[in-house]
Structure 1
């Protein structure tokens, strides 16, 4: 199984980027994971051939079994993510694709609003959408020095979303070997 991750933030050290990397470490054995980090390079959709960053993502998604998106708490999606989803929708890249969405916020309503926007965009593009709204206390540590999830309640919520995206077959190892690996490929 192969999963592509996209963080809806242009800031490398942002919470949603760190969350996406941590999600990749929580995937079950045998799942290959790669983060697509070209969001800032995507122009608004216009009919015609896709620009190279989008063409690369289209190729990666064609070979992938699923997609994980992490988004900030804002009720409006970042313009770059909206542009990217517009391109993917126009080329039918999300039709039937499983997409897990995680939005994080210190307030429940912020995560809920971001989640609703992503669900709407992805569903309109034909994706099979699943996910969770992660409510985070700004005073709690969420990651260790290696970027792994340490907050048990957050890790449990992330694992619930991963189980929806990558159901474990009988006899397979359990989820959550967070010390296991780095992302397996570059999208």
Structure 2
């Protein structure tokens, strides 16, 4: 089983990317987490260009299509998701009927240096993913005060947060298994 992990942050030392790496450490052996690293390469969405999609958009769509599920970790910018993440999701949504996110299990987590752990951004990201047609988990994992949340080896320092991340992964993999059963039936 493959989970595509997308960090909404472009920052080199991103807490959200660190959160996805911490998730990778919690996976069962039969699950692989692939960190998508091409968000920076996605150009601004242009409806006039959606038929001739840039190679970077095609690579993102291919990565999503090859994954069994998607895990997004997003910071909060002005009470919403970062523009680059929204832009990438807009590209992936076109054309909507053939979006690789349609019916794909997805989960959203988030970390921020503030006290709310990107709660609003998580809600916004779930809303966008649902609009595209993804099967989004109704689960929230806020990671506040992110500067203090990670050990030097990348593990989460708070056991409750680590249990929440593990539960998110467990629920996401269960959603993949349920989807496979429905398809096989």
TM-score by structure 1 length? 0.81
By relative contact order (CA 8 Å, sep 6+), the higher-ranking structure is 1
Higher helix share: 2
Mind listing any 5+ residue stretches in structure 1 that lack a counterpart? 169-187
- Give the count of matched residue pairs: 166
**2:149 pairs with 1:146:** no
Partner of 1:107: 115
What residue is the counterpart of 1:136 in the other structure? 144
2:168 is aligned, of 154, 161, 176, to: 161
**C-alpha displacement of 1:83:** 1.0
**Structure 2 counterparts to residues 56-95 of structure 1, below 5 A:** 56-74=59-77, 75-91=79-95, 92-95=99-102
How far, CA to CA, are the matches of 1:42 and 1:98 in structure 2?
Answer: 23
What displacement does 1:115 show? 1.4
TM-superposed CA distance for 1:138, in Å, is: 5.4
Q: State the partner residue of 2:17.
A: 17
Asked if the contact 2:103/2:133 (under 8 Å) is kept, the reply is yes
Give the alignment's Cα RMSD to 1 decimal. Answer: 1.8
Aligned to 1:7: 7
CA separation in 1, counterparts of 2:69 and 2:154? Answer: 23
Q: Which consecutive unaligned segments of at least 5 residues does structure 2 have? A: 176-185
TM-score (norm 2): 0.82
User: Following superposition, which runs of at least 4 residues in structure 1 exceed 3 angstroms of deviation?
Assistant: none
Q: 1:7 to 1:147 in 2, by over 3 A?
A: same
Give a deviation string over 1:46-104, Cα, whole Å, max 9, x none: 32222112111111211110000001133121111111000111141110011110022
Q: Distance in 1 between the 2:32 and 2:146 partners?
A: 31
